[in-house]
Amino acid sequence: MVMIVLAVMVFGYSSAWTFLYPLPEHPGSGIVTAAIGAAAYLIGLALAVVGFLLWCLDFLRAGLKRCGSLQRLLGFYVFGSAGHGHSGENDPTTTNPSLIAGTVCAILGLSACVIGALIVVLMLTSLVFPSLTLNALVAKNMIYFTGHTLANLQIYVAAGIAYSVLPLYTKRPWPLSRALVAGWLATLAIVMLAFFHHLYQDFAQPEAVQWVGNVVSYAAAIPPMTVTIYAGLVLVWRSGIRWSAAPLFTLMAMAGWAIGGFGAVIDSTISLNQFFHNTVWVPAHFHTYMALGVMFFLIGATYHVVPKLTGRQMKENVGRRAAALMGFGGYGLVLCWYISGSMSAPRRYFYPLSGTEVLAWIAVACAAVALTGAVMVCKDLIDVFLVSSHYNLPEPAPSPELAPSEV
């Protein structure tokens, strides 16, 4: 991350993860150090990707050590007559919904990291040896496969929090079922192909691939809606749950995931994408499931874990008020963006499109309301850690003693 910051702040590199080939090699006039900035950015990105790859490998290593095989870790045994409905409470080698979600994310992360590292190495080589040229369309497909997959993994990793947190507050187990396992296996295949909806404007792309992107993007909404969001609502229904901050933020996160995902499905429709592509509809939908989805999952997990870690309760009244402010402000913000996007207001413009100025000011006000709620959560969290004198960290597993013959 330090190299990426240096590339931007010192060497004038100005690209997001959409560092499309061959643009980093052609910085434009007046930027003498831009080539150094491009190299620093690509190297920093490669290091970040390798870091996440190591996490994926370590997760799979730990999961395989527990369950013994990848098939068992993914829950394949539920499709057998003996495995269906088996809770596995007394069997430490069985998996659970959180482990399945993490395993799917680790496998997807490995594939994204390998492709991402490959394109970064190729572009670095092309930067040093300009005579080496790449196919720009293939390079763009590789970049978007990596970027889209890694971005989506954030919400899928966060979904594992719901599997762990909600059952503790509803006093109901989240059962391992055939539908849940099948849904996550479908997600494993779908996410690898959904990135094609980013390339509808690339008319050199084969038409069949564009249709695959459209169909798969529709299909991507089905597993989360059925096996996680709907199942989560069933878990909560008439459970007598006490709406403390942890389950409240978790359920709000599931709502953000569903609403933001629906906005993404609309944008992934080829005929509508012609109007919504590169408008503020795009940041509207991904802020809905990132800011109002992933972030809410993490805040919910924070209100659940921190009291156990520090031995001190966070302020529930602060959490509920913050949830109200962040929900009201957040949805007000993205609603203004959705409306502006439907009016073809372009994204990344400093000045709003004529006719959307009022919406832009309302969005700013709503963002300030949401920020107030976020500051309240941060202050509550800081207060708890400043007061706590010790943390209830898990003890490391003792290393086995060697037998005399092994010394």
* pLDDT tens digits, one per residue of 241-271: 999 999 999 999 999 999 999 999 999 999 8
Q: Please report whether residue 209 resides in a domain.
A: no
Q: Are 160 and 286 contained in the same domain? A: no
Q: Please report whether residue 69 resides in a domain.
A: yes
Mean pLDDT of 387-393: 65
Mean pLDDT of 297-321: 92
Reduced to 3 states, what is the DSSP secondary structure of residue 346? strand
The predicted structure's pLDDT at residue 4: 86
Contact 256, 286 (CB under 8 A): no
Band of pLDDT at residue 356, cut at 50, 70 and 90:
very high
390 has a pLDDT exceeding 70: no
Q: Please report whether residue 270 resides in a domain.
A: yes
The predicted structure's pLDDT at residue 310: 85
Q: Are 148 and 283 contained in the same domain? A: no
84 has a pLDDT exceeding 70: no
User: What is the per-residue pLDDT across 175-217, written as a single tens digit (0 to 9) for each?
Assistant: 898 999 999 999 999 999 999 999 998 989 999 999 999 999 9
Q: Please report whether residue 78 resides in a domain.
A: yes
Q: Per-residue DSSP letters for 81-106?
A: TTTTT---TT-TT---HHHHHHHHHH
Task: Return the higher-pLDDT residue of 397 and 139.
Answer: 139
Q: Are 286 and 151 contained in the same domain? A: no
Mean pLDDT of 71-79: 92
Q: How far apart are CA 25 and CA 128, in angstroms?
A: 9
Mean pLDDT of 276-305: 94
29 has a pLDDT exceeding 80: no
Mean pLDDT of 335-339: 97
407 to each of 245, 397, 401, how far by Cα in Å?
53, 21, 10
Task: Name 25's Cβ contacts closer than 8 Å, sequence gap at least 6.
Answer: 35, 38, 126, 127, 130
Contact 284, 360 (CB under 8 A): no
Band of pLDDT at residue 406, cut at 50, 70 and 90:
very low
Band of pLDDT at residue 8, cut at 50, 70 and 90:
confident
The predicted structure's pLDDT at residue 88: 54
Report the share of the chain in percent with pLDDT over 70.
Answer: 90
Strand partners, 279: 346
The predicted structure's pLDDT at residue 398: 53
36 has a pLDDT exceeding 50: yes
Phi-psi region of 344 (alpha: psi -120 to 50; beta: other; left: phi over 0): left
Q: Per-residue DSSP letters for 200-244?
A: TT-TTS-HHHHHHHHHHHHHTTHHIIIIIIIHHHHHHTTS-----
Q: Please report whether residue 219 resides in a domain.
A: no
Fill in the DSSP letter of residue 290. I
Q: Please report whether residue 206 resides in a domain.
A: no
Q: Are 171 and 263 contained in the same domain? A: no
Q: Please report whether residue 230 resides in a domain.
A: no
The predicted structure's pLDDT at residue 407: 37
391 has a pLDDT exceeding 80: no
Task: Return the higher-pLDDT residue of 393 and 110.
Answer: 110
User: What is the per-residue pLDDT across 141-186, written as a single tens digit (0 to 9) for each?
Assistant: 999 999 999 988 988 988 888 898 999 999 999 989 899 999 999 9
The predicted structure's pLDDT at residue 400: 46
55 to each of 38, 164, 310, how far by Cα in Å?
26, 20, 26
Q: Are 262 and 159 contained in the same domain? A: no
- Asked which of 23-32, 50-59, 224-233 is least confident by mean pLDDT, the reply is 23-32
The predicted structure's pLDDT at residue 402: 44
Q: How far apart are CA 12 and CA 162, in angstroms?
A: 41
87 has a pLDDT exceeding 80: no
Q: What is the mean pLDDT of the chain?
A: 88
Q: Are 113 and 248 contained in the same domain? A: no
Q: Are 23 and 116 contained in the same domain? A: yes
Domain that holds residue 148: 1-183
53 to each of 38, 48, 145, 355, how far by Cα in Å?
22, 9, 15, 46
Number of domains in the chain: 2
Q: Are 78 and 172 contained in the same domain? A: yes
The predicted structure's pLDDT at residue 404: 44
Q: Are 139 and 271 contained in the same domain? A: no
Q: Please report whether residue 159 resides in a domain.
A: yes
Domain end position, chosen among 183, 201, 230 = 183
